[in-house]
Amino acid sequence: MDNRPIGVFDSGVGGLTVVKQIVKLLPNESLVYFGDTARVPYGSKSKEIVTKFSSQIIRFLMTKNVKAVVIACNTVSSNCYEILSEEFPQLPIIEVVTPGVESCLAATRNKIVGLIGTYGTVSSGAYEKRLKAADPNIQVYKKACPLFVPLAEEGWVNNDVARLTAATYLKELTDKNVDSIILGCTHYPILKACIGEIVGEGVTIVDPAKATAQRLKEYLENHNMLTDNTEEAERLFYVSDKSHFEQICSRVLHEDYHAEKIDIEKY
Ligand code: DGL
């Protein structure tokens, strides 16, 4: 048993969609979340810069004595996971792409799938490579949807602007007859209702968050690292700049939390 908290991070509010699933599955685990609100978006930045930001964040989370880190960001997971695992060999690191691939394989029937994510995720080829390795017959159509990130950060999740943006981005994929679409960016589940409206009921929306939480649980179980805490778990939130973080946080988690601003450049 291990009562230390779990660290979770993202470029901003997106990772909260993963926190939501972790809290559901592992309610007794304490969490430390970091949202890099000063430097969001990551999706249009280079691998080198995103790796540097992620290393700083993991070093910060380590000062909070975390027992494991969840990269609740597809851009970081698909571009920097190997480098970060080498840099922090002592720390269990869970990423979101593998659970996303597994959920998609379980969901598709016609083996024509869509992937939406940031430019960084889509151009990394990480999802496509793993999907095709598991099933060479699968067809993957990809579309970067960078504007979903500021919409989610702004809380514009189901208004005319969000709907028009989603319709414009997603037409290419629905025209290809995809039967499932992977939300390959943790910000996108915040716009799930809007995305679902546009793609229609026949398309399964695959959110890797649930399977990521499951993977984390299995890891902790297998390594005897689950908490034995039965008191209310502690959940701490940190950001790198002032933003709408707290508002979106209460919308996603249905609970109010204070987010403390820290200087991430120090780490
Ligand atoms: N939420 C992130 C992801 O899953 C990053 C979005 C961004 O900062 O561009 O890719």
Give pLDDT tens digits for 123-167: 999 999 999 999 999 999 999 999 999 999 888 998 999 999 999
Look at residue 20 in the predicted model and tell me its pLDDT: 98
127 Cα–ligand 1 center, Å: 15
Length of the chain: 267
CB neighbourhood size of 134 (10 A): 12
Q: What percent of the chain has pLDDT over 70?
A: 100
Does ligand 1 have an atom closer than 6 angstroms to the CB of 79?
A: no
Distance CA 22, CA 37 (A): 21
Look at residue 113 in the predicted model and tell me its pLDDT: 98
Amino acid at 160: D
Whether 194 is catalytic: no
Tell whether the model's pLDDT for residue 228 goes beyond 90: yes
Q: pLDDT class for 19, splitting at 50, 70, 90?
A: very high
Look at residue 115 in the predicted model and tell me its pLDDT: 98
Q: pLDDT class for 243, splitting at 50, 70, 90?
A: confident
pLDDT digits (tens, 9 = 90+) for 44-71: 999 999 999 999 999 999 999 999 999 9
Q: What pTM did the predictor assign? A: 0.97
Inter-CA distances, 152 with 54, 127, 157, 192, 197, Å? 21, 22, 6, 10, 16
Tell whether the model's pLDDT for residue 230 goes beyond 90: no
Look at residue 121 in the predicted model and tell me its pLDDT: 98
Inter-CA distances, 111 with 86, 202, 252, Å? 34, 14, 31
pLDDT digits (tens, 9 = 90+) for 28-41: 999 999 999 999 99
What secondary structure letter does DSSP report for 189?
Answer: G
- Looking at residues 201-219, what average pLDDT do you find? 97
Look at residue 232 in the predicted model and tell me its pLDDT: 84
Selection from 80, 180, 189 nearest residue 140 by Cα: 180
Pairing of strands 112-117, 68-71: unpaired
Does ligand 1 have an atom closer than 6 angstroms to the CB of 115?
A: no
Look at residue 134 in the predicted model and tell me its pLDDT: 97
Q: Given CA atoms 86, 8, 74, 23 in this order, what sign does their dihedral have?
A: positive
For the chain, list the domains and their CATH numbers.
6-95+210-266 (3.40.50.1860), 97-208 (3.40.50.1860)
Look at residue 153 in the predicted model and tell me its pLDDT: 87
Look at residue 88 in the predicted model and tell me its pLDDT: 98
Backbone region of residue 139 per phi and psi (left: phi > 0; alpha: psi in -120 to 50; beta: other values): beta
pLDDT digits (tens, 9 = 90+) for 58-115: 999 999 999 999 999 999 999 999 999 999 999 999 999 999 999 999 999 999 999 9
- Looking at residues 189-201, what average pLDDT do you find? 96
37 Cα–ligand 1 center, Å: 11
Question: Relative to the CA of 187, which ligand 1 atom is closest?
Answer: 1
- Catalytic pick from 80, 185, 194, 249? 185
Token representation of residue 95:
């990423």
Q: pLDDT class for 231, splitting at 50, 70, 90?
A: confident
User: What does the mean pLDDT of the chain come to?
Assistant: 97
